[in-house]
């Protein structure tokens, strides 16, 4: 072991999170309608599989794009040979046009300010390397995407300090919460370099209000720090209020060509809006030329293949198709989200009102045996192992209130979603009927579970995180 690096041997990747554990449990016993009908249904993965038929139809009608041809002539050699890591100009142009269209063309983007990366994960980590040093900190509103503990911290050494948001105001960011997080970081001798938000929110499925965005801009102006707006779900907003990009607010406040303008950066990708996570297409957009230059150099460690760029440049340049796809996809997302909410209501479960994303933020506090994170982990274990649904507990998202769960709805068929809701309803009914059972009895139901050892480990980590916050 002494021959390996500290990074290789130190367990700081974040795999201990219940979010990743749930994904692992699903892989061991995946549901299949015919081959494994009693398996675990995957509701912990934010994939959009609702509009593959639209993409496949376009591909069938555009064989040249798939076959590396332009005007009927092969460009295979051109794409197969070495490409500059700045990316194909035609793809960057098509990408920024698509980004502007999603935002109602209220803002435009300069393709020269775009850095292509192998997914949004790579984009966020690259920005960490550009903006911060080890032991510097970024503030993140809770609840936040569990993968950020890996994406932002593991290789960079950057720390995350949570901005604690609560259900009392639908988990919206407040001035007092931001200031409290900032001062807590200072007490831990951390230099705060910026704030990172996801808008629309993962896991809440909500768009940020104009007041929240103004608050954030005012704060980074006052503290002279950065703001990263991860807008990877910007094309999944299926009902009002609409999506407002941080770039739109900056322009409305006439902050172009100011220091603040250069300290705001956007992360985007095509894994959610187009449902193409396997294509590994992400992007950084920054108005700071130094950040663009540094990020471009770093991008050589995670490039998007030239074949992928060419195919998507042709697809996104087809304005008629992209308009049709976006409109159709949003209608399907809205319909599926309503089916999820309806199924939850029939099971006696509520959720946060949402208007975007591929998931619901589900309130199961009434199903807890006690108002503790230990009880949340106990409930989560039963849902994964007994109900056979993989969902993500709020504690994996650093939610400050036990009993909330992220449940995804767009990565399965309608029949599978219906079955999942039936399973959940049966579980709630059985739980309610045994409501008077003691906490000891409830624990005995999962005594022999093969993931019980993880619960104590996760409980320890949760306690350790809270202890760190209090220091």
Q: What is the pLDDT of residue 432?
A: 76
Residues 179 and 97 in one domain: yes
Q: What is the mean pLDDT of residues 399-423?
A: 98
Dihedral sign from CA coordinates of 34, 40, 44, 45:
negative
Q: Is residue 59 part of a domain?
A: no
* The last residue of a domain, from among 298, 321, 344: 321
Which of 26, 144, 145, 268 is labelled catalytic?
A: 145
Which residue range(s) make up the domain with 42? 6-52+331-470
Which of 41, 195, 225, 232 is labelled catalytic?
A: 232
Nearest by Cα to 68 from 421, 285, 305:
305
In the chain, the number of structural domains is 2
For 323-442, list the strands marked E by DSSP: 350-351, 359-363, 389-390, 392-393, 404-408
Q: What is the pLDDT of residue 275?
A: 94
* The last residue of a domain, from among 286, 321, 356: 321
H or E element at residue 322: helix 319-346
Note whether 329 and 318 are within 8 A (CB): no
**For a pLDDT cut of 70, what percent of the chain falls above it?**
90
Statement: residue 60 has pLDDT above 60: yes
Q: Is residue 116 part of a domain?
A: yes
Residue-wise pLDDT tens digits, 364-406: 999 999 999 999 999 999 999 999 999 999 999 999 999 999 9
Residues 202 and 138 in one domain: yes
Q: What is the CATH number of the domain that holds 127?
A: 3.40.640.10
Q: Is residue 57 part of a domain?
A: no
Residues 275 and 370 in one domain: no
145 has catalytic annotation = yes
Statement: residue 456 has pLDDT above 90: no
Q: What is the pLDDT of residue 214?
A: 98
Note whether 231 and 249 are within 8 A (CB): no
Residues 187 and 279 in one domain: yes
Long-range contacts of 369-375 (CB under 8 A, 24+ apart): 369/439, 369/442, 370/439, 371/402, 371/403, 372/402, 373/402, 373/459, 373/462, 374/459, 375/402, 375/403
Classify 423 as helix, strand or coil. helix
Residue-wise pLDDT tens digits, 16-36: 789 889 999 999 999 999 999
* Higher-pLDDT residue of 456, 140: 140
Which of 92, 193, 272, 388 is labelled catalytic?
A: 272
Residues 44 and 69 in one domain: no
Model confidence at 467, pLDDT cuts 50, 70, 90, reads very low
Q: List CB contacts of 225: < 8 A, sequence separation 6 or more.
A: 192, 193, 194, 195, 263
Residues 112 and 119: their CA atoms lie apart, in Å, by 19
Classify 446 as helix, strand or coil. coil
Note whether 274 and 55 are within 8 A (CB): yes
Residues 169 and 119 in one domain: yes
Q: Is residue 394 part of a domain?
A: yes
Q: What is the mean pLDDT of residues 49-65?
A: 96
Residue-wise pLDDT tens digits, 271-323: 999 999 999 999 999 999 999 999 999 999 999 999 999 999 999 999 999 99
State phi, psi for 23 to the nearest 5 degrees: -65, -40
Inter-CA distances, 283 with 82, 92, 115, 233, Å: 20, 9, 5, 13
Q: Is residue 326 part of a domain?
A: no
Note whether 384 and 25 are within 8 A (CB): yes
Residues 179 and 111 in one domain: yes
CB-count exposure of residue 11 (10 Å: 0-12, 13-18, 19+): exposed
Which of 230, 273, 288, 363 is labelled catalytic?
A: 230
Long-range contacts of 462-466 (CB under 8 A, 24+ apart): 462/373, 462/377, 462/395, 465/398
Statement: residue 457 has pLDDT above 70: no
Q: What is the CATH number of the domain that holds 409?
A: 3.90.1150.10
* The last residue of a domain, from among 283, 299, 321: 321
Q: Is residue 395 part of a domain?
A: yes
H or E element at residue 183: helix 175-187
Classify 371 as helix, strand or coil. coil
Residues 11 and 103 in one domain: no
Residues 23 and 135 in one domain: no
Note whether 404 and 143 are within 8 A (CB): yes
230 has catalytic annotation = yes
Residues 216 and 344 in one domain: no
CB-count exposure of residue 15 (10 Å: 0-12, 13-18, 19+): middle
Q: Is residue 86 part of a domain?
A: yes
Residue-wise pLDDT tens digits, 85-116: 899 999 999 999 999 999 999 999 999 999 99
Model confidence at 8, pLDDT cuts 50, 70, 90, reads confident
Residues 460 and 355 in one domain: yes
Q: Is residue 58 part of a domain?
A: no
What is the model's pTM? 0.91
Q: 442-466 burial by CB neighbour count: b if 16+ within 10 A, else e?
A: beeebeeeebeebbeebbeebeeee
Residues 157 and 246 in one domain: yes
Classify 51 as helix, strand or coil. coil
Q: What is the pLDDT of residue 446?
A: 47
């Amino acid at each position: 072991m002494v021959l390996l690096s500290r990074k290789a041997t130190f367990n700081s990747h974040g795999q201990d999170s219940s979010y990743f554990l749930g994904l692992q449990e699903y892989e061991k016993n995946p549901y299949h309608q015919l081959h494994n009908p009693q398996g675990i249904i995957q509701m912990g993965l934010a994939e959009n599989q609702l509009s593959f038929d639209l993409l496949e139809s376009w591909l069938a009608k555009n064989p040249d794009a798939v076959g590396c041809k332009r005007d009927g002539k092969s460009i295979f050699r051109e794409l197969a040979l070495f490409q500059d890591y700045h990316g194909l100009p035609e793809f960057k142009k098509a990408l920024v046009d698509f980004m502007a269209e999603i935002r109602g063309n209220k803002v435009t983007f300069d393709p020269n300010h775009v850095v292509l990366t192998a997914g949004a994960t790579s984009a966020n980590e690259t920005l960490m390397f550009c903006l911060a040093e080890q032991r510097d900190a970024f503030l993140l509103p809770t609840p936040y995407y569990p993968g950020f503990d890996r994406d932002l911290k593991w290789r960079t050494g950057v720390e995350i300090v949570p901005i604690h948001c609560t259900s009392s105001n639908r988990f919206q960011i407040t001035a007092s919460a931001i200031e409290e997080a900032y001062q807590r970081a200072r007490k831990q001798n951390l230099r705060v370099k910026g704030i990172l938000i996801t808008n629309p929110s993962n896991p809440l499925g909500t768009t940020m209000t104009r007041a929240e965005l103004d608050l954030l801009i005012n704060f980074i102006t006052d503290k002279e720090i950065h703001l990263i707006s991860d807008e990877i779900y910007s094309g999944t907003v299926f009902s009002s209020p609409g999506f407002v990009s941080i770039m739109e607010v900056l322009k409305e406040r006439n902050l172009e060509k100011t220091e603040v303008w250069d300290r705001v950066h956007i992360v985007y990708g095509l894994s959610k809006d187009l449902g193409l996570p396997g294509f590994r297409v992400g992007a950084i957009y920054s108005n700071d030329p130094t950040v663009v230059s540094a990020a471009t150099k770093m991008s050589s460690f995670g490039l998007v293949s030239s074949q992928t760029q060419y195919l998507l440049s042709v697809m996104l340049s087809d304005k008629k198709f992209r308009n049709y796809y976006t409109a159709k996809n949003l209608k399907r997302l809205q319909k599926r989200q309503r089916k999820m909410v309806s199924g939850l209501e029939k099971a006696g479960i509520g959720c946060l009102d949402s208007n975007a994303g591929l998931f619901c933020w589900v309130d199961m506090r009434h199903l807890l045996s006690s108002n503790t994170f230990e009880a949340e982990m106990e409930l989560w274990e039963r849902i994964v192992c007994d109900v056979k649904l993989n969902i993500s507990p709020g504690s994996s998202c650093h939610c400050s209130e036990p009993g909330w769960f992220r449940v995804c709805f767009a990565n399965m068929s309608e029949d599978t979603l219906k079955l999942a809701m039936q399973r959940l309803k049966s579980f709630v009914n059985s739980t309610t009927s045994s409501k008077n059972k003691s906490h000891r009895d409830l624990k005995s139901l999962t005594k022999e579970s093969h993931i019980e050892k993880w619960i104590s480990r996760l409980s320890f980590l949760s306690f350790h995180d809270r202890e760190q916050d209090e220091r």
